[in-house]
Amino acid sequence: MSNPTAAREARALSVLMCRPTYFTVSYSINPWMHPENPTDTSRAIAQWDALVATYRELGFEVDFIDPLPGLPDMVFAANGGLVVDGLAYTANFRYDQRRPEAGAYAEWFAGAGLTVADAQFINEGEGDLLVVGDAILAGTGFRSTTESHAELAGLVRHQVIPLTLVRDDFYHLDTALAVLDARPGHEQIAYLPSAFDAASLEVLRSRYPDAIEASEDDAAVFGLNAVSDGLHVVTAAAATHFQAQLAERGFEPIGVDMSELRLSGGGAKCCTLEIRRHPSTSQMDPFAE
């Protein structure tokens, strides 16, 4: 069990991002997307540039994948796969509009020297697969299947814990749950209770009794679609109550405006895929030479 008052410790993350050069809302695959409403690509780019600058100020290593025309949601790099312990488990998108993104991200993973495991079952990467200590919280209900959870469990040493989402406005796990401290033994999360079914809520409350329970208002502005280095939490600027909750727990919230990208159902975390090239200490084989 983690200690909610423990001293926080920042770790510099390595992340992959994709510039929203072709961002627009031209189709609808979640309740946030309304193609009839105008979008401002230049504003989306400016907000994304500010997010990149924030990460660099925090000491993150930021890599980039080239955006491709005709793939307006490619900016949401978190959906491109899951990278843990140097293994890249590829995305296998549910909707046809996004399926070509998977190959582009798989090609980047291979070029970066990662071991690539091609997913046979529907999953949308870190959108539904969040690493917390020795576990991977695995969302299902809208985008990723339980078959993909079983497939992933056969590839990693982490325990894969299924969680069922029940609200289509929180269609990915990373819209309803934020990993605040991923260190084994120091695990800390925040989540929106109403986004989960009763069995999943029981799992979360049992496993993370000191978790932050976010408000409906903060979740609605994608406050939980956040990126944390263990101390600093990059979250939606409008999620002010959530920022106060974070500060009470010893975190340092950093508000960013991702309102244009939210028109497609994404925020800071959606734009950010963590590249975990090396196993955590607790996952290392003590008998390896």
Q: Tell me which residue of 139, 189, 190 sits closest to 167, measured CA to CA.
A: 139
Q: What would the DSSP string read from start to end of 2-53?
A: --TTSPP-----EEEE---TT----S-SSTT--TTS---HHHHHHHHHHHHH
Does residue 270 carry a catalytic annotation? yes
Q: What are the CA-CA distances from residue 269 to residues 4, 34, 153 (Å)?
A: 23, 21, 23
8 Å CB contact between 35 and 27: yes
Q: In whole angstroms, give the CA distance from residue 46 to residue 257.
A: 10
Does residue 172 carry a catalytic annotation? yes
123 token code pair: 């999953």
Q: Given 18, 149, 158, 270, which residue is catalytic?
A: 270
Question: Do the strands 14-17 and 61-64 form a parallel or antiparallel pair, or are they unpaired?
Answer: parallel
224 token code pair: 């939980």
Q: Given 18, 149, 158, 172, which residue is catalytic?
A: 172
What is the torsional sign of CA 28, 31, 35, 41? Answer: negative
Angle at 60 between CA 208 and CA 242, to 5 degrees: 40
Query: So which residues are the catalytic ones?
Result: 172, 270
